[in-house]
Amino acid sequence: MSNSQFKTVTIAGGTGTLGYAIAEAFLNDGSYNVKVLRRKPENENEKAKLLVSKGAEIVYADYTQHDDLVKALKGTDVVVSALNFDPKGAGFYDSQAPLLAAAKDASVKRFIPSEFGGKLKPGAHLIIDDKIKLGQEVEKSGLEYTYIYVGLFQEYFGWFGFDIKNKKVTFFDDGSKVFPTTSLSDIGKYTVETLKLPEARNAHINVAGAHLTLNEYLELFEKATGSKWEVVVDKDVRHRFQNNIEPVPSFLDNFKAVIVQEGEIGKLDNDKFSFTPRPIAEVIEELVKQAS
Ligand SMILES: NC(=O)c1ccc[n+]([C@@H]2O[C@H](COP(=O)([O-])OP(=O)(O)OC[C@H]3O[C@@H](n4cnc5c(N)ncnc54)[C@H](OP(=O)(O)O)[C@@H]3O)[C@@H](O)[C@H]2O)c1
């Protein structure tokens, strides 16, 4: 149970991969009114139905209508943005800026922007630059804020080149650099607990379920699958992408290379939290089971 000063939390994008885990963690905590903000028009959504069955309220708004968004956020103490960018449209700034403006006018107390990744520097990638631009606006807004950095979602090892079915991994560096990863359920729990952590007010919080090198993660995958994996090392992705050199990497592979090379999050704040994250070996065993 919480001793937080906040009562009502609205998770924007609570039907998404991350947002669902965060909404679930708030519902499990049991001490908040939990609202999930969805985009109009209203439509059927299995995750939304599940969250309602666990006690969440779904609210809808048209993000292009400021007054509509303000109305949807009235009475909310904390907005957690779990919005994504739209590969064909709005970037992280454009998707979240209307939410931030409405939060301010709805007298929301704290805004948690959609960070939840690595702590990349300006200029590292345009997707990240957009998050940084939004962050500058968050800090000017007068609302309290917390940035939460978690490294890679552990459920995204596959996306990141760990091909469990074919026992093959592709590294965009030599695999020797320490790289933070966190499970979605732990990200949810960390997010909930920031609300009662005085150090999280107007702060950057760095947490990780595991902090190993890619080679060490690979060893755990090899142990869980009981076999040696093929390793492909491609350290040249960013250079080829920038200079259009064959084979030209995809936009996404270039983004992954940026993340692995620059996605460190700095000193961890894990010890400020009351729980221990899931053991990484357990998460990897589960991923292997799911893939077989
Ligand atoms: N560290 C990592 O490994 C990692 C991996 C993936 C994502 N992330 C981060 O996690 C955050 C959320 O990503 P996600 O993959 O969980 O997102 P997602 O699954 O795509 O879900 C985002 C949700 O937000 C709503 N939404 C999507 N686009 C929107 C827009 N332009 N404007 C308003 N609402 C929109 C949608 O809900 P409704 O349709 O119900 O409104 C959607 O379900 C992002 O910051 C992303 O960078 C990190």
Would you write out the chain's pLDDT as a tens digit for each of its 292 residues?
Answer: 456 899 999 999 999 999 999 999 999 999 999 999 999 999 999 999 999 999 999 999 999 999 999 999 999 999 999 999 987 888 999 999 999 999 999 999 999 999 999 999 999 899 999 999 999 999 999 999 999 999 999 999 999 999 999 999 999 988 998 999 999 999 999 999 999 999 999 999 999 999 999 999 999 999 999 999 999 999 999 999 999 999 999 999 999 999 999 988 999 999 999 999 999 999 999 999 999 8
Q: Which atom of ligand 1 is nearest to the CA of 39?
A: 41
Closest Cα to atom 9 of ligand 1: 116
C-alpha span between 170 and 235 (Å, rounded): 10
pTM of the model: 0.96
Own/partner pairs, 87-91, CB within 8 angstroms, 24+ separation: 91/126, 91/127, 91/130
pLDDT at 2: 52
Can you tell me which atom of ligand 1 is nearest the CA of 114? 45
Say yes or no: CB of residue 170 within 6 Å of ligand 1: no
Answer whether 142's CB lies under 8 Å from 199's CB.
no
Domain ranges of the chain: 8-214+254-291
Q: What is the whole-number distance in angstroms between the Cα of residue 266 and the centre of ligand 1? A: 24
Question: What is the pairing mode between strands 168-171 and 162-163?
Answer: antiparallel
Tell me the Cα Rg of the chain.
19
pLDDT of residue 54: 98
149 lines ligand 1 (CB under 6 A): no
- In this structure, the chain runs to a length of 292
6 token code pair: 């906040």
Q: Whose CA is nearest to atom 21 of ligand 1?
A: 16
Residue 7: φ, ψ to 5°: -120, -45
User: Is 116 close to ligand 1, i.e. is its CB under 6 Å away?
Assistant: yes
Check: CB of residue 104 under 8 Å from CB of residue 142: yes
**Could you identify the residue written with the tokens 């933070």?**
180
So what CATH class is 8-214+254-291? alpha beta
17 Cβ inside 6 Å of ligand 1 = yes
Nearest CA to ligand 1 atom 19: 16
Question: Which of 20, 58, 84, 130 best tests ligand 1's pocket when mutated (most atoms within 8 Å of CB)?
Answer: 84
